[in-house]
Amino acid sequence: MTQIRSVVLGCGAYLPGQVVTNAQLAERIDTSDEWIVQRTGIRERHIAAEGEFTSHLAIKAAQAALTDAGIDAQSIELIVLATSTPDNTFPATAVAVQHGLGITHGAAFDLQAVCSGFVFALATADNFLRTGAYKRALVIGAETFSRILDWNDRGTCVLFGDGAGAIVLEAQEQPGNAASDRGVLTTHLRSDGRHKAKLFVDGGPSSTQTVGHLRMEGREVFKHAVGMITDVIVDAFNATGLNAESIDWFVPHQANKRIIDASAHKLHIAPQKVVLTVDRHGNTSAASIPLALSVARKDGRIKRGDLVLLEAMGGGFTWGSALVRW
Question: Residue 261: enclosing H or E segment and its boundaries?
Answer: helix 257-267
User: What is the side-by-side strand order in the sheet with 3-14?
Assistant: 3-14, 162-174, 136-144, 78-82, 107-111
Which of the residues are catalytic? 115, 253, 283
Please report which helix (H) or strand (E) contains residue 81, including its range. Answer: strand 78-82
Closest CA to 110 of 130, 90, 137, 129: 90
CA nearest neighbour of 232 among 193, 189, 268: 189
Give one DSSP letter per residue of 180-226, joined into a string. T--EEEEEEEEE-GGGGGGEEES-BTTTTSB---EEE-HHHHHHHHH
CB of 227 closer than 8 Å to CB of 317: no
CB atoms within 10 A of CB 295: 20
- The three-class DSSP label of residue 21 is strand
Q: State the DSSP H helix or E strand holding residue 272, giving kind and residue range, or none if neither.
A: none
Asked if 77 contacts 105 with a C-beta cutoff of 8 angstroms, the reply is yes
